């Protein structure tokens, strides 16, 4: 699917890889939110290629609650694992996942 330079691609259903990214940054998300999540299920995502990849992920955290995560995954040659860059709270299932 084409994407303009620097832009995000179309939203897609979350994959196993996206869920794994969420699992890796869950402790950071909980620390940032100041709470523990019993449910932390990736639902959809979009991505942006930079010097690595930014993933914008909609995550179901229980009930009707969702959060949006921005996770940066560096290029393999740069080493390091995924990092939680930012997080948006009070999202719903209907809120589109997009760049923030």
pTM of the model: 0.88
Asked whether the predicted pLDDT for residue 16 surpasses 90, the reply is: yes
Structure tokens at 58: 């909609």
Domain boundaries, the chain: 12-91
Q: What's the topology of domain 12-91?
A: Nuclear Transport Factor 2; Chain: A, (3.10.450)
Instruction: Name the E strands within 4-78.
Output: 12-13, 41-50, 52-62, 65-74
The answer to whether the beta carbons of residues 78 and 92 sit under 8 Å apart is no
How far does CA 27 lie from the centroid of its chain?
Answer: 13
Q: What percent of the chain has pLDDT over 70?
A: 94
- The pLDDT of residue 6 is 63
**Cα–Cα distance for residue pair 31/12, rounded to 1 Å:** 27
- The pLDDT of residue 86 is 95
DSSP state of 78: G
């Amino acid at each position: 699917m084409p994407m303009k330079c620097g832009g995000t691609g179309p939203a897609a259903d979350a994959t196993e890889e996206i869920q794994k990214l969420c699992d890796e940054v869950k402790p950071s998300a909980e620390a940032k939110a100041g709470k523990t999540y019993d449910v932390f299920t990736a639902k959809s995502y979009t991505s942006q290629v930079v010097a690595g990849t930014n993933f914008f992920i909609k995550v179901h955290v229980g009930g009707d609650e969702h959060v949006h995560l921005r996770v940066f995954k560096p290029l393999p040659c740069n080493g390091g694992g995924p990092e939680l860059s930012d997080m948006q709270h009070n999202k719903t299932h209907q809120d589109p996942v997009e760049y923030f």
